[in-house]
Amino acid sequence: MKQKRALRQPHAMLACVLGLLAPLALLLPWIRQGGGSLGGLGLLTASPQVLALRPLAFFGALGFLFSLYALFSKNRNAMRGLAAAAAAGVLAAVYALLTAKATADASLTLAEPFFVSHLGPGLWAFGLLALATLVLSLMALRQPVAYVVLSSMAAVWLVPVAWLLLTAFRQEPGAYTPYVLPRGYTLMNFSRLFTETQQFNFPRWYMNTLIVAVITCLVTTTLVLMISYAFSRLRFPSRKTYMNVGLIISMFPGFMSMIAIYHILKAVGLDQSLVSLILVYSGGGALGYFIAKGFFDTIPRSLDEAATIDGASKNLIFWKIILPSSKPIVVYTAITAFIAPWVDFIFVSVIMKDNYQNYTVALGLFRMLEREHIYEYFTRFCAGAVLVALPITLLFIKIQKFYVEGVTGGAVKG
Partner 1 sequence: MKKFFVTLLALALALSLTAVAVAETVTLKVWGSQEDQAMLQEMVEAFKAANPDKTYDITFGVVGEPDAKTRYLEDPAAAADVFAFPNDQLYDLLAADALYEVTRNKDAIVAANSAGAIEAASAHGQLYAYPMTADNGYFLYYDKSVISEEQVQTLDGILAAAQAAGKKFFMDLSNGWYIASFFLGAGGKLGLDENGAQTADFNNERGVLAGEAIKALAAHEAFLTGDDAILTGGMGDTIAAGVSGTWNADAIKEKLGENYAATKLPTFTLGDEQAQMGSFAGFKLVGVNTMTAFPEDAMAVAEWLTNEENQVKRFELRAMGPSNVNAAASEAVQANIALAALAAQSQFAVSQKDVLGGYWTPAEAFGATMEAKDYTKDVKTLLDEMVAAITAK
Partner 2 sequence: MSGANTVSARSGKGFFSELAAIFRGGDAATRLTFLVMGLGSLVRRQFVKGGLFLLSQVLFIWYFFGFAWQYLSKFTTLGTEGMRREWSEARQIFVRTPGDNSMLILLFSVFSLMLLLGFVFLWRASLRAAYRAQLDARAGRKPATFQEDLRRLLNERFHLSLLSLPTLMAFAFTILPTIFMILIAFTNFDANHQPPGNLFTWVGLTNFTDVFWKDPLKAGTFGRVLGWTMIWAVIATFTNYLFGMVLAIMINQKKVRLKSMWRTIFVITIAIPQFVSLMLMSQLLHDQGALNMLLKQWGFVSSSVPFLTDATAARITILVVNLWVGIPYSMLITSGILMNIPKDLYESASIDGASPVRMFFSITLPYMMFVTTPYLITAFVGNINNFNVIYLLTRGGPLVTDYYQAGKTDLLVTWLYKLTVDRQNYSLASTIGIFVFVVSAGLSLLVYNMSGSARKEEEFQ
Name which of residues 94 to 123 contact partner 2 (CB under 8 A).
Answer: 97-102, 108-115, 118
What minimum distance in Å lies between the beta carbon of 277 and partner 2?
A: 12
- The alpha carbon of 28 is separated from its chain's Cα centroid by a whole number of angstroms, namely 39
Q: Considering CB distances under 5 to 8 angstroms, the limit depending on partner class, which of partner 1, partner 2, none binds residue 298?
A: partner 2
Pick from 283, 295, 227: nearest CA to 250: 283
Applying CB under 8 A, the span of 13-21, 71-79, 140-148, 190-198 interacting with partner 2 comes to 140-148
Q: Considering CB distances under 5 to 8 angstroms, the limit depending on partner class, which of partner 2, partner 1, none binds residue 223?
A: partner 2
Q: Considering CB distances under 5 to 8 angstroms, the limit depending on partner class, which of partner 2, partner 1, none binds residue 1?
A: none
Contact map string, positions 30 to 49, toward partner 2, x by CB under 8 A? --------------------
294, 355, 357, 376: which one binds partner 2 (CB under 8 A): 294
280 binds partner 2 (CB under 8 A): yes
Sequence-distant (6+) residues with CB within 8 A of 16 are 67, 68, 70, 71, 82
207 binds partner 2 (CB under 8 A): no
Residue 175 per-residue DSSP state: S
Chain residues that interact with partner 1, rule: CB under 8 A: 173-178, 198-200, 259, 262-263, 266-269, 271, 349-350, 353-356, 367, 370-372, 374-376, 378
48 prior amide bond cis, ω within 30: yes
**Within 10 Å of residue 52's Cβ, how many Cβ atoms?**
18
Distance CA 343, CA 337 (A): 11
Question: Residue type at 207?
Answer: M
Distance CA 131, CA 115 (A): 20
Sequence-distant (6+) residues with CB within 8 A of 264 are none
CB 120 within 8 A of CB 29: yes
Select 67 or 325, whichever has its Cβ closest to partner 2: 325
What minimum distance in Å lies between the beta carbon of 355 and partner 1?
A: 7
Query: Under rule CB under 8 A, how many of the chain's residues touch partner 2?
Result: 122
What minimum distance in Å lies between the beta carbon of 269 and partner 1?
A: 4
